[in-house]
A = this chain, B = another copy of it.
């Protein structure tokens, strides 16, 4: 059994966002329903959300693996939206309506514990995003929901998508901190494992319904992370906030 991690050695908490901070599935489904109502389209909007999200990792893989130059997530999301709408046989939607629906990712709702938990943790630590979402997406999300970030970092600023090592390294470097003074907070084992390989501390936060009530993945930590928390309020408490 490893020693517990002393919160006094931590300076910055960096956060995965989609799934960890915001509920993308219900948020996208909700905006899909409003879009459908406005265009007279009936569909399974939760399935729409899942189909859109299913194209997320493959689109980033094109960039990560060098088949495509750096491209921000808003652009990947927009291309993926066109593909999902086509696969659902939804056509006749103009560019402005597609752009607006694409911005559903800028309006995602936070999980209920998030704002209160971040507000407590902000008193003691630097709070930053370490997301694959681009800066504008992260800023708009924060303005919409009052997420009290100190700094927006992550993929666009690093020029690399997670879990590329440089996405974590650039984040610590920009903060002027050694990686061991930084924690990645995430609901995903793979992201935390990649961060820990770059020297980050790790906090697994459970989000057992990110993928809906029948979720089978990331229900529990698969590795020896520094912190394991039920939600952001529990994490704040464990960190002495």
Interface residues of A (CB under 8 A from B): 74, 126, 128, 134-140, 142-143, 149-153, 156-157, 174-177
Q: Which chain B residues border A128 with CB–CB below 8 Å?
A: 139
Q: Which residue of B lies closest to A177 (CB)?
A: B136
- The list of the 7 closest CB pairs from A to B, nearest first, reads A136-B176, A135-B174, A151-B152, A139-B151, A136-B175, A139-B150, A157-B157
Q: Which chain B residues border A136 with CB–CB below 8 Å?
A: 174-177
Q: What is the oligomeric copy number? A: 2
Q: Which chain B residues border A149 with CB–CB below 8 Å?
A: 150-151
Q: Which chain B residues border A150 with CB–CB below 8 Å?
A: 139, 142-143, 149, 152
B126 and A139 form a contact (CB under 8 A): yes
CB distance from A184 to the nearest CB of B (A): 17
Q: Which chain B residues border A152 with CB–CB below 8 Å?
A: 150-152
30 inter-chain pairs at a CB distance below 8 angstroms, sorted by A residue, are: A74-B176, A126-B139, A126-B143, A128-B139, A134-B174, A134-B176, A135-B151, A135-B174, A135-B175, A135-B176, A136-B174, A136-B175, A136-B176, A136-B177, A137-B176, A138-B151, A139-B150, A139-B151, A139-B175, A140-B176, A142-B150, A143-B150, A149-B150, A149-B151, A150-B152, A151-B151, A151-B152, A152-B152, A157-B157, A157-B174
**Complex Cα distance A142/B149, Å?**
11
Q: Which residue of B lies closest to A136 (CB)?
A: B176
Q: Which residue of B lies closest to A138 (CB)?
A: B151
Q: Which chain B residues border A137 with CB–CB below 8 Å?
A: 176
Q: Which residue of B lies closest to A74 (CB)?
A: B176
CB distance from A71 to the nearest CB of B (A): 13
